[in-house]
Amino acid sequence: MNMTHYMELLAVNQPWNLIIFMAIPVGLAETVVITELYILFTRRLDGWVRRINRWAGIAVGLYFLGIIIYLLTTAVLPITAAGEWRTVLDVIAVGAYLLGGIPLLLVALQDLGLIYRHLTPEQKLRHHATYVAAFLILGHVAMIFGMTDPGLLGYQASAEHAMPMEQGGHTGH
């Protein structure tokens, strides 16, 4: 089966790429989501849950900024220059993954007090929740399109990029 660059990134260099590009950022982002829900329901804008929310928001935003810079320079620009995108599915998957980092960066900037200092706590909460929702939407778009076989839209891997059959299958050797 063909795979998008998104899925290939997660599949190669096991388990490190999966940890670096999925487990760490998603674990931190889900910590923000869970604590955000608690804050929204209780309206407790201080306390230990808010401190966890703030810490995780800063960490995931800055972490994802590093991912964006790294993947733009090592993957997106070279793939684009070589014309190696694997259909629009591939572009949407990678693009949504990287765009998902922008709302997380905005969460970090807000939690660091670098933006929205003049807003009321309720207004800040609204922005924070909106950014978290945007991340969730973009993350799910990335996963759905990333897991879709680009062969559905006509992509066929060259022999040098084709994945060997599953363990126990015939690889031609």
pLDDT tens for each residue of the chain, 173 residues long: 799 999 999 989 899 999 999 999 999 999 999 999 999 999 998 999 999 999 999 999 999 999 999 999 999 999 999 999 999 999 999 999 999 999 999 999 999 999 999 999 889 999 999 999 999 999 999 999 999 999 999 888 876 555 543 444 333 43
| Nearest residue to 50 (alpha-carbon basis) of 67, 65, 31 | 31
- Number of independent structural domains in the chain: 1
Whether 53 maps to a domain, the answer reads yes
Whether 16 maps to a domain, the answer reads yes
Whether 165 maps to a domain, the answer reads no
Per 3-state DSSP, what percentage of the chain is helix, strand, and coil (rounded to 5)?
70, 0, 30
**For residue 171, what pLDDT is reported?**
37
Whether 157 maps to a domain, the answer reads no
**For residue 1, what pLDDT is reported?**
75
Whether 105 maps to a domain, the answer reads yes
Radius of gyration of the chain (CA): 19
Alpha-carbon distance of 135 to 60, in angstroms, equals 11
Long-range contact list for 133-139, CB < 8 A, 24+ apart? 134/100, 134/102, 134/103, 135/29, 135/100, 135/103, 135/104, 135/107, 136/33, 138/96, 138/97, 138/99, 138/100, 138/103, 139/26, 139/29, 139/96, 139/97, 139/100
Dmax (CA) of the chain: 66
Whether 15 maps to a domain, the answer reads yes
Whether 160 maps to a domain, the answer reads no
**For residue 55, what pLDDT is reported?**
98
How is residue 56 written in tokens? 């995780």
Alpha-carbon distance of 34 to 15, in angstroms, equals 26
**For residue 161, what pLDDT is reported?**
54
Alpha-carbon distance of 57 to 31, in angstroms, equals 8
**For residue 158, what pLDDT is reported?**
76
* Domain ranges, residue 51: 5-151
Alpha-carbon distance of 124 to 136, in angstroms, equals 19
> 132 with 103: CB under 8 angstroms?
yes
Read off the pTM: 0.86
> 116 with 123: CB under 8 angstroms?
yes
